[in-house]
Amino acid sequence: MLRNEFQIIDQIYDSQVENKFIIKKLTVNERIILLQKLEESILAHRQEITQGLHLDFRKSIIEAESTEIFPIISEIRLFRKNLKKWAKTKSVSNNIVFFGSNAKIQYEAKGNCLIISPWNYPFQLALVHLVACIAAGNTAIVKPSEFSPNTNKVVKKIINSVFSSNHVEVVKGEIDVTTHLLNKKFDHIHFTGSPKVGKIIMAAGAKHLSSVTLELGGKSPLIIDDTMPLETIVSKAIWGKLVNNGQTCIAPDYILIQENRLNDFVKSAIKYLEKTFGQDPKESPDLARIINNKNFHRIRDLIQDSIAKGAKCPYGNDYDEKELYIKPTLLTHVDSNSEILHEEIFGPVFPIISYTTINEAINFINEREKPLALYIFSKNKALIQQISDETSSGAVMVNETLIHIMHPNLPFGGVNNSGIGSSTGKFGFEDFSHAKPVLDVNQLVSPTKFINYPYNSRTQKIINLMMKYL
């Protein structure tokens, strides 16, 4: 990175710091207009977006539009519809101590924000959090991953068509750019990526006491009992795994299946894969590719390490490095020391582990870091409740995969190793806002009339009454 490029970043940062107090004063209507312009620009560049995603991932148009463009349009429309209600100052009730007082919660912008987005959904994740950030009245620097350069060009083009640089700007570059940005003081940092990098982001935020939201990942399990038809489960499980070729933070990472169903599940899965993608899935237009050589080799090494340690591979284990293609792969009888059971896969590989009792499955999950999502396929309501009660995860999804992230009234986020804080919808607005309490005390019956100086026996009696009845 040339010094003058760092100087350009510094100028953008300084202009946003100076401008954040003006942006904070934008009315809700003015923010809604900006969101509408953003929506219009996205729709106007729809073809360029899908082209960029195809160049970066070989994503099909349908997958690009359904997983990258539609979620942003849906999020913008949700904010345009509800922002006035969410941003409205809200009165809260008083107890007897504050009788006659006026207590309220006022939402204010946090200030200048940094949004660091990942490569796996380079359009959706660069913009979905920007929607909340702008709606809350902040400025933002968006730093996308350098691994998706074609999509990044369109993201920057769209943002520059709507916002001035001292309001929102895209800063491209590699790790040196991210490091340079993290040395600066931001009022809020939103990061989506791996737990390893998340720790670096949190440490950087701590230097300036910046608030930090982390959307991380983890090994999200998919549990199958014996109460549902395998054909129903297989189609949903494989779709959840293979969308974006497994490069999804909430993709089911591994399967826990009741032991007596293991062989039938494998047969059903192979039948479904061959029917859906043909005898040579590489020729299917529906399968995306691995993002780069580094991740290609990492995933291939995970598969081959498992097989070397005794795992069986009834389907898959086929590669084309030139095309960054890895055939969807099923693994059974995976040794507990295999790396694939300890590292997030982020690829089209399904380790399948059998269990005899549900407690075994629950213990297997609880022995690992808390996942971002947990999937349960069952008709047994008591078992579903037991799993939900006895495990901890960012979210629980029953009899489906992935789509909980689309629900307009549910928060999205992890817990501990899989993330800190919540995003999307109302929860995203609150994430980029400070909920400021404002209290106007009724002076006729102010609490300080009774507990102010000088302290005496009367003061003590009042305190005793408060301790007893309040």
Q: Decide if 428 is inside a domain.
A: yes
Q: Decide if 469 is inside a domain.
A: no
Enumerate the β-bridge partners of residue 351.
Answer: 331
Same domain membership, residue 311 and residue 395: yes
Same domain membership, residue 362 and residue 251: yes
Same domain membership, residue 306 and residue 190: no
Active-site residue, from 39, 63, 215, 369: 215
Q: Decide if 458 is inside a domain.
A: no
Same domain membership, residue 24 and residue 78: yes
Q: How many CB atoms lie within 10 A of CB 317?
A: 18
Of the CA atoms within 13 Å of residue 363, those in its CB half-sphere come to 7
Integer Cα distance of 456 and 282 in angstroms = 85
Residue bearing tokens 């463009």: 69
Structural domain tally of the chain? 2
pLDDT of residue 441: 94
- CATH number where 126 lies: 3.40.605.10
pLDDT of residue 3: 66
Active-site residue, from 113, 133, 249, 313: 249
Same domain membership, residue 300 and residue 281: yes
Query: Is 68 known to be catalytic?
Result: no
Q: Decide if 413 is inside a domain.
A: no
pLDDT of residue 270: 98
- CATH number where 339 lies: 3.40.309.10
Residue type, 9: I
pLDDT of residue 4: 84
Helix axes 124-135, 70-87, angle to 10 degrees: 10
Same domain membership, residue 259 and residue 174: no
pTM (2 d.p.): 0.94
Query: Is 215 known to be catalytic?
Result: yes
Q: Decide if 412 is inside a domain.
A: no
Residue bearing tokens 């209507």: 29
Mean pLDDT by 10 residues, the chain (470 residues): 82 98 98 98 98 97 97 98 98 92 96 97 97 98 97 98 98 95 98 95 96 95 96 96 96 97 97 96 96 97 97 97 97 96 96 97 96 97 98 97 95 96 96 97 89 92 89
Q: How many CB atoms lie within 10 A of CB 6?
A: 14
Q: Decide if 66 is inside a domain.
A: yes
Q: How many CB atoms lie within 10 A of CB 356?
A: 10
Q: Decide if 442 is inside a domain.
A: no
Range of the domain at 353: 221-407
pLDDT of residue 2: 59
Residue 200: is it exposed, middle or buried by C-beta count within 10 angstroms (0-12/13-18/19+)?
middle
Same domain membership, residue 103 and residue 56: yes
Same domain membership, residue 135 and residue 229: no
Same domain membership, residue 386 and residue 242: yes
Same domain membership, residue 233 and residue 211: no
